[in-house]
Structure 1
Amino acid sequence: MNIRISEESINSKVKTIYLYIIIIFSIPTIILLYKSIEWHPILDSPIFQYIAYKILNGVTPYKEIFDMNLPGTYWIHIITIKIFGLNSIGFRITDLIFLFIILLSGGLILKEYGSVAVFTFIAVFSGIHLAGGEANMGERDYFMTGFVGLSLYFIIQYIKKSKNINLFIAGIFIGYAGFIKPTSYILYFLIVLILLIKKNGNNKIIMDSILLTIGVCIFPGIFTYWLYKNGGINDFVNICVNYLPIYQNGSISSTFKLIYSIWKSPLDILIAGSLIILPIVYDNLFKQDKKRETTYLLLFVGVLFFLFNFVIKGQAENKYRLYPGYYFFAIYAGIIISTTLKEENLKTKLSGTIYLMISMSIICMYTILTIYKKNSEINYNSYITKEKETEKEIIKILRKDGIRKDEKIQIFDVVGGANILLKLGVNPATKYLQEVHFTEMQWKGNFPLYLQKQWDNFIFTLYSEKPEYIVMLKSSYFYREKVSNIGVEYEVRNLLNRFYHIINENNQFIIYKLK
C-alpha cells in the first residue's frame, strides 16, 4: 500500500513538473500570439484573398483568373471577406479560428491519454505555427490540416463506437480538405484500408466504404455545381488535366532536399525524440494500455499520411508543406510524454522530462526569433520584412504618379503582387496574377503545348492592352534575368523597350509606365 502511495506521489510530482515545463516554455508563444494580431497576409495568401475578392465582384474563377488552386481555398477567403471584410485583421481571425479547430481536434483525440498529452500537443503545435510567422499564416496545408484533424477525430469515434454517422462526418471533412489539397484523399484510402483490416464482415465493409465515399463526395459535388453555375467548370477541368501535371513535375525536389527540409525544421527534434523514447515506453504503450487501438491507428494513419502527402507534393523549399507532420508528431509527443508517467522506472520519467524540455526549448527558440523579427528556418522574416516595405513603397510611388482605379497594371513577381492590387483597388491587365506559371519551373527550351498557349494568351493581351504600368519585383525571374526560355525573355523585353519607360528603379523593383 505504501509503495502504491509512493508511486502515485511520484507520478503526481512528475506530472506537475511536466505541466510547469509546458507552461514556462509556452510563455514566448503567448507573447507571440498577442503580437501576431498585427500580421497581414503575405506570400500565397494575398493571391487567394484577391481571387476571392474578385469572385465576390462577379469574376468567373479559372476562366477570368488563371490559377491552379482549388475552390476549397477560395471559399475560406470568400467567407472571411463576407464576415470580417477585406482587411488583415479579418484574415488573422480566420487563421486563429483554424488554429483553434486544429488544437480542438488534437485535444479531443488525446483526451483519453490525460491532460499532459493534451497540453503537450497544444504547446507544441501552437508554438510551431506561431513561430512560422506571417509566412505560415493561412497557408493551404495549414487549412487542410484543420479538416484532416477533424476527420481523424470522427474516424477514431467510429472505431470506438461503430456509429456510422461518425464515418460519414469524417468523409465530409476529407472531401473539403481534398478541395484545398488533393493529397488529402490519401486519408480516404487509408481509412478504407483500415475498414478492410478490421474485417467486420464483407457486407459491413462495403456499406461502410459506401457511406464514407458519400461523405467524401458531398463538398466536391457542391464545388462542381458552384463552378458549373458560375461558368468556370470547363476551365477548371482544363487546368486540372493539362496544367497541374506540368506544374507538379516542374516543382519536385530531390529526395535529399526533402529529407533535409524535415531536419531543418522543428520536426527534427519531435521525430528524433519519439524514436529514442518509443522503445522505452513500447510495452506500456502498445501491449498493456487499453488505448492501444487508438495509438496504433494514429501511428498508422499519421506516418503514412504525412509521408505520402509530403513525397507526392515533392516541394522541399516551403516549410508549410510540413503541417501534417507537425500535427501528427505533436500528437505523438503528447502520447509518449504522458506514457512515461505510467512507467515505474525513474530513468524513464527522467527521459520523458529531458525530451519534453529539449522539444519545448527548441520550439521556444523558434518563437523568440519570430518575436524579435529575426530570421529562422520556418519564418522567412528577412524576406517578409523587405516585401512589406517594398509593397508600401510601390503603392506610394504609384499613387503619387496618379494611378486611377480604372487603370490596369501587370505585376511580374513570384509572390506579393496581389497585395499591391488589393490595396490600390486596381485590376491586372491579364488573367494571370503570377509569372510563376511560366518561370518558376525553369524551362529549358520550348514550353509544353498547353503552357505555350497560356503564354501566347498572356503576352498577346499585354501587347494589345498595354497596361499603364508594369511593375517588376525582385522576386521576378525577369528582374533577375533568370528566365530559361529565351523566346519568353525576348518578348517581354521587346514590349518594355518599345512601349514603356522607367519611372522608378531600385534594388527591389522597377516600375515601368506607358510612353
Structure 2
Amino acid sequence: MGDTQVFHYGVFLMKAGMSPYRQIIDFNMPGSYWFDFLGTTLFGSSDLGWRLYDYTLLSLLAFATISITSTCDWFAGLYAAVLFALIHASEGPLATAERDEVMTVLVVVGYALVFLGVRYRRPVHFFTSGICLALAATIKPTAAAFEVLLTVTALFQLRKEGVRTFPFLRAIVVATLIILAATLMFLLWRSSFNAFLMRALPLGAFYSASIRPSFPYLLHYSTPRGLIPLLPLAGLLFFLNRSWRDWRFRVIVGGAILGLASYFAQTKGFAYHRYPFVAFALLWCGMEFTAALRRGRLIGAIGGAGLLIGAVLIAPFYLYRTFNFVQTDLISMGLVNDLERYPSDKLNGRVQCLDGVAGCYSALYRLRLKQSTGLMGDQLLFSSHPNPAVDTYRDEFMNEIKSDPPLIFVETSYRFGDPQTFDKIDAWPAFAEFLRTNYALVGEGPGDLRTQGADPLGYRIYLQAGSQLTATTQ
C-alpha cells in the first residue's frame, strides 16, 4: 500500500531489465530500491513478508537503542524502542517499512556502533557505522547530517580521553566512500548515471515544491501526541541531571534536533517524516528519566513520572489506536479482480497506470504485469502546479504510447496534493482527447463512482477501441 507499491513495482521492473531513472521515471534515491529488494528477497513478496520485514526493522532498532543505553540503564533503550514501535504501528499499514523508518533504523544502528567504538577504542566500529550512515543517506540525503554530527562529537570525546583519532576518522571516511562508490557503480552498471542527474534531481525538486503546507500546519504535526507530555520533563531533567556534560546525551539531543530539521526540510508534514526525530526524542527521554531515578527524591520523582506516563498512558493510547485502525486497499483488490478477467499474456507490457499511490501499481505488481512505459506516478502529467519539466515529460509519454499504444489504461482518481477526481486528465487536454477518442470505458470500481462524485478514491479501466481483447465473465 502507499509508497511501498512504487518501490516493489520499481524493483520488479528492474528485474525485468528496465533501467532506473532512464526507463523507470522516478525521483527516489537508489537506497530506497536497494532496501526494498533486500526486504522482499529475505522475506518474500507477500504482504506477510513485508510485515515481517517491518518487525525486523523494529527489532534492530530495539537492539541498537538498548546497546546505546547499556552503559547507563538498558531499560531506557527498551522504553524508547517500544514506544517508537507503538507510535509507528498506530499509523497503519501505509507506514510499514517506509523509507524514513529504514533510514532511522540505519542511523540509530550507526549511533550504537560509534558508541561501541568509543567505549572499546576500536576503529572497526566506526567503519561499520559509516557503512550504515552512508546507506541511510542513499535513502534520504538528510541522513548525512547525522553522520557529521556523530563523527565530530565522538572524535572530540576520543581526543579528550587522549586517544589518537586519525584511525577512527579514516575508518568512517573510507566506509562512506565505499558506499558512494557502490552507488556510482550501480548507476553506471544500469546506464542510469546521466538520467539520475537529469531526471531524478529535477523531479525531486518538483515533488518538493508541489505541496507546501503552512508552517503552523507543519509545526502542529511535527510531534506525536504521546511525546508532548514527555519532552518538557526531559528538558527539565537535562538541566537537573546536568546531562549536557555527557557527550552521549549531547549527541542524542543533537540527533533529535536534526530529525526535526529533516522533517521540516521535507515540507510535507507526513507522519513518517518525523521518525528520526521521534526515535531520538524518545531515546533522550528514556535516558533522562532513568538517570533521574539515581538522583535525589524530587529529581527521581520527575523521572519516575516520565516512565509511568509512558507505560500507563502513552503505550495504551497507541495500542488502542493500533487495534482500532481501519484501512483497506480497495482499489488494488478490486483492480486485481477486474484485470484477472483478461488474458495475462495479452496484457503483459500492454497496460498503463495513470496513478500515484492509490493502488494501480500494487495491482500490477500482484499480477506480475509489466507496464507499457516506465512511468511511476502521473503527478507531472496532470499537475496543477506549473513546472518547466511538465511539457518535456508529457511529450515523452505521448510519443511512447502513440508508438506502441497500450491495450488498457487504468486511471485512478488520485491526485497528489489536490482534490481526488477522474477529471484530472483534463489538466492535459491533448491526452484527454487521445484517451476519449481511442479508448472506451469498460469498468470501474470499487463502486459506481460516477454517481458518488469526485471525493472517493476509485479507478476506471479504458480498453483500446477496436481491440479484440475480451474479458471473461465472473
Which residue matches 1:418? 361
**What is the deviation of 1:390?**
2.1
Which residue matches 1:313? 266
Residue range with higher mean Cα deviation, 320-329 or 347-356: 347-356
**What is the deviation of 1:498?**
0.4
Conserved in 1, the CA contact under 8 Å of 2:331 and 2:360? no
Q: Secondary structure, in 3 states, of the residue corresponding to 1:427?
A: coil
Higher share in helix: 1
Q: Report the aligned-residue RMSD.
A: 2.8
Would you say 1:430 and 2:383 are equivalent positions?
Answer: no
Which residue matches 2:440? 501
**What is the deviation of 1:108?**
0.5
Alpha-carbon spacing, 1:75–1:407, altered in 2? closer, same or farther (3 Å): closer
Q: Secondary structure, in 3 states, of the residue corresponding to 2:13?
A: helix
**Whole-Å Cα distance in 2 between the matches of residues 140 and 119 of structure 1?**
23
Conserved in 1, the CA contact under 8 Å of 2:142 and 2:262? yes
Which residue matches 1:256? 216
Write the deviation string for residues 131-163 of structure 1: whole angstroms up to 9, x where unpaired.
222111010000001110111112223344443
Aligned length: 448
Which residue matches 2:241? 284
Write the deviation string for residues 24-59 of structure 1: whole angstroms up to 9, x where unpaired.
xxxxxxxxxxxxxxxxxx100111011112222322
**Whole-Å Cα distance in 2 between the matches of residues 390 and 348 of structure 1?**
53
Q: Secondary structure, in 3 states, of the residue corresponding to 2:374?
A: coil
**What is the deviation of 1:304?**
2.9
Would you say 1:113 and 2:66 are equivalent positions?
Answer: no
Conserved in 2, the CA contact under 8 Å of 1:52 and 1:78? yes
Which residue matches 2:203? 243
Alpha-carbon spacing, 1:117–1:85, altered in 2? closer, same or farther (3 Å): closer
Which residue matches 1:26? none
Which residue matches 2:351? 409
Would you say 1:295 and 2:295 are equivalent positions?
Answer: no
Amino acid at match of 2:318: Y
Amino acid at match of 1:466: P
Conserved in 2, the CA contact under 8 Å of 1:95 and 1:137? yes
Would you say 1:322 and 2:274 are equivalent positions?
Answer: yes
Which residue matches 2:341? 400
Amino acid at match of 2:434: L
Query: Mind listing any 5+ residue stretches in structure 1 that lack a counterpart?
Result: 1-41, 374-380
Alpha-carbon spacing, 1:389–1:249, altered in 2? closer, same or farther (3 Å): closer
Moved over 6 A (4+): none
**What is the deviation of 1:101?**
1.1
Conserved in 1, the CA contact under 8 Å of 2:356 and 2:376? no
Conserved in 2, the CA contact under 8 Å of 1:343 and 1:349? yes
Amino acid at match of 2:375: Y
Given candidates 319, 328, 332, the residue that maps to 1:367 is 319
Amino acid at match of 1:430: T
Superposition TM-score, scaled by structure 2 size: 0.86
1:169-208 matched pairs, under 5 angstroms: 169-194=128-153, 200=159, 208=168
Q: Secondary structure, in 3 states, of the residue corresponding to 1:113?
A: coil
**Whole-Å Cα distance in 1 between the matches of residues 158 and 60 of structure 2?**
32
**What is the deviation of 1:284?**
2.9
Alpha-carbon spacing, 1:239–1:342, altered in 2? closer, same or farther (3 Å): same
Superposition TM-score, scaled by structure 1 size: 0.79
Which residue matches 2:471? none
Amino acid at match of 2:360: G
Alpha-carbon spacing, 1:197–1:307, altered in 2? closer, same or farther (3 Å): farther
1:466-481 matched pairs, under 5 angstroms: 466-476=405-415, 480=421
Write the deviation string for residues 455-500 of structure 1: whole angstroms up to 9, x where unpaired.
21112223332211111223246961675x96x4212311221011
Alpha-carbon spacing, 1:188–1:94, altered in 2? closer, same or farther (3 Å): same
Amino acid at match of 2:261: F
Conserved in 2, the CA contact under 8 Å of 1:285 and 1:339? no
1:13-162 matched pairs, under 5 angstroms: 42-162=1-121
Residue range with higher mean Cα deviation, 473-482 or 81-90: 473-482
1:478-497 matched pairs, under 5 angstroms: 480=421, 483=424, 488-497=427-436
Amino acid at match of 2:137: G
Conserved in 1, the CA contact under 8 Å of 2:233 and 2:302? no
